[in-house]
Structure 1
Amino acid sequence: GFLVKEQITNAIEILSNWNLKVHLGKNIFSKFYTFAGNDEQRLFDFQNAIDDNSIKAIFCARGGYGTLRILDKINWTKFIENPKWLIGYSDITVIHSCLNNFLTIVSIHGPMPVNFEKLIEEKSSLENLKKILFGKKIKYIFPNEKKLTNTVIEGKLIGGNLSLLYSLRGTKYDFNSNNCILFIEEIGEYMYHIDRMLHNFKFGNKFSGLKAIILGGFTDIKENDSPFAYSLAEIIKETTNNKTPVINDFPAGHSIPNYPIILGQKAKITISNKEIVFEQG
């Protein structure tokens, strides 16, 4: 979606305070119907950020819809030669999937500049994003409210927005779940759509071989006039392997906090009686 400068003023200030030099894409404030410029304009800015060796990290200013339309037009040659951080979530899942699953390059599922203002007071999301950018480890600790069995889980972290992962099924950007930890989040979907997508994953053996499943924010999930018969927990239980640990309410996605995580990189999850510890880096 398109944006105006006021939406990212705070982000520019914060990033500058981190001693980062902020370079705005030529077309960042363009508008083409609901898009932030037409496909050619958005591709131009993204390709330029990839090809410019002086740029060390690419922040996608916001999500919405449209990344899928330019995905097959991106030339990754210079990115492969000179990898850099790619930061975003939601619609940016399609780029994460390309990097993690097709090019085997890691990326950051985390806050975008348009979200920074809402995260200033909460602090920890942006503090941890800064940690990752500057090469430090991250560690998140949560209460073990569901009384999951004590264990230590290690595996490559993959995933992103459920609808976008679903849209890439059967393509070269699709994920291989074997020995991985799958993170999924969603916003504004009907419960029956979620049921359909998770059953698709089940039928495609996407839940087979997983070390764990992490459920991020499932925000503003909608019901029809007649409520859907099953809850998210019930759908997850029905579609996944009962032996696979499921970690609920992980604060990442369309939520506050929105903790950054590194997709394509190994993660360690330690479950004890009282708490769950998530570590990366």
Structure 2
Amino acid sequence: MSVLIPPRLAPGDRVRVVSPASTPYREFVARGVEALTRWGLEVELGRHVFDSVGYLAGTDEDRLADLNDAFRDPGVRAVFATRGGKGAYRISDQLDFGAVRRDPKPLVGFSDITAVHLSLWKECGLVGVHGPFVNDESEGADGLRRVLMTTDDIVIKQDPKELSAGLTDGRRATGFLMGGNLNTVAHAVGGELSSLDGGILLIEDNLGTGLGMIDRQLTQLIKSGLLDGLRGIAVGQLNGFEDERVNGWSVLDVMRDRFDLLDVPVLGGLPIGHGRQPVTVPLGTVATIDPAAGTLTVAAGVR
């Protein structure tokens, strides 16, 4: 696959904020706009950012229109998703991939936005940015700024306090990094998810979807064949699973049981996902997991 690495952002660039999934809180978006403005960026909102239809930020047609308008506008240099939630998977196969190929620009988002990242990677090889919408000048915001505005490698250190740290095992491994929210990745089988042969799978999960569901999701991915040739697994935050047990089994036991079928190195404990101030990481560039050192090193997602 030919990989598309978008240009880095610079002060004075115009960026677009959209809501491809669920409706965000206005106050949250306002804080994000303030933060991006402090970076020297010119921030504008998509027409339907605050629309609401059930649990969606407007109709499929309107959410898709905002996303495609941002990719088609040559003056827009980056696209920020306000939040995840539900619904990005409904429109992820209808993006204007031709416009993306002609003028690649980074999309920032995570959770349900994983579906859009996977689709853009499958159809265009576009490098994305896995991370939350910025809303202040915290350490998390600084990390997002580094990913978008510098060409430095991103080094993420394992946090031994994270539940998934207990999964760490094996040797160093290198490959392109792709993935995101486990639930979304698993449901992309037969759709947005392409082969991860030669890749490092990034996964995180939130709110304790249940040990059986984790089992189903990982088993579905394995049975799909799309993990054949996988070189390693990087595991982020597993929020909501801390106290969940079934006959002595925890989420770590379930994951180890499934990971053993893949026989690849695993680096857990990464502060990536739905926790407080999660770190931002590029998707699609070359990454190395080093379980012994407890580090994930990812090549820049911009040029």
Q: TM-score range by the shorter chain?
A: 0.7 to 0.9
- Shift in CA distance, 128/140, structure 1 to aligned 2, threshold 3 Å: same
Written as runs of structure 1 = structure 2, the 5 A alignment for 1:60-139 is 60-113=81-134, 116-117=135-136, 120=137, 123-137=138-152, 138-139=154-155
Q: What is residue 174 of structure 1 aligned with on the other side?
A: 193
Q: 1:193 aligns with which of 192, 213, 218?
A: 213
Q: Deviations over 1:18-54 (max 9, x none)?
A: 1111010111111112211111221121111111110
Alignment coverage as a number of residue pairs = 272
Is the 1:215–1:247 Cα contact (8 Å) retained in structure 2?
A: yes
* Equivalent residue in structure 1 for 2:230, among 210, 215, 237: 210
Q: What amino acid is the match of 1:79? A: V
CA RMSD, Structure 1 to Structure 2 (Å): 2.4
What does the per-residue CA deviation read over 1:191-236, in whole Å, with 9 as the maximum and x for residues that have no partner? 2111111111222334432221111111124989x84653222222
Q: Which residue of 2 is the match for residue 247 of structure 1?
A: 267
With over 3 angstroms needed to count, the CA separation of the structure-2 counterparts of 1:208 and 1:238, relative to structure 1, is farther
Check conservation: 1:180, 1:210, Cα contact below 8 A: yes
SS at match of 1:101: helix
CA shift for structure 1 position 143: 6.3
Distance 2:258 2:167 in 1: 21
| Structure 1: gaps (5+ residues) | none
TM-score for the superposition, normalised by structure 2: 0.82
Q: Does 1:159 align with 2:175?
A: no
SS of 2:270 mapped into structure 1? coil
1:231 pairs with 244, 247, 250, which one?
250
Other structure's SS at 2:91 match: helix
Percent of aligned positions that are identical? 27
**Alignment partners' CA distance in 2, 1:78 and 1:41:** 18
- Cα distance in structure 2, aligned partners of 1:229 and 1:148: 20
Distance 1:21 1:35 in 2: 26
- CA positional deviation for 1:147: 9.9
Who is 2:280 aligned against?
260
Mapped partners of 1:147, 1:41: distance in 2 = 41
TM-score (norm 1): 0.87
Q: How far is the alpha carbon of 1:3 from its aligned partner?
A: 2.4
Distance 1:186 1:148 in 2: 17
* Whole-Å separation in 1 of the counterparts to 2:40 and 2:247: 49
Work out the CA distance in 2 between the residues paired with 1:92 and 1:191. 23
Alignment partners' CA distance in 2, 1:199 and 1:147: 17
- How far is 1:4 from its partner? 3.5
For structure 2, list consecutive stretches of 5 or more residues without a partner in the other structure. 1-21
Tell me if structure 1 keeps the 8 A contact 2:195–2:227: no
Q: Which range moves more in the overlay, 57-66 or 192-201?
A: 192-201
CA shift in 2, pair 1:152/1:229, >3 Å:
closer
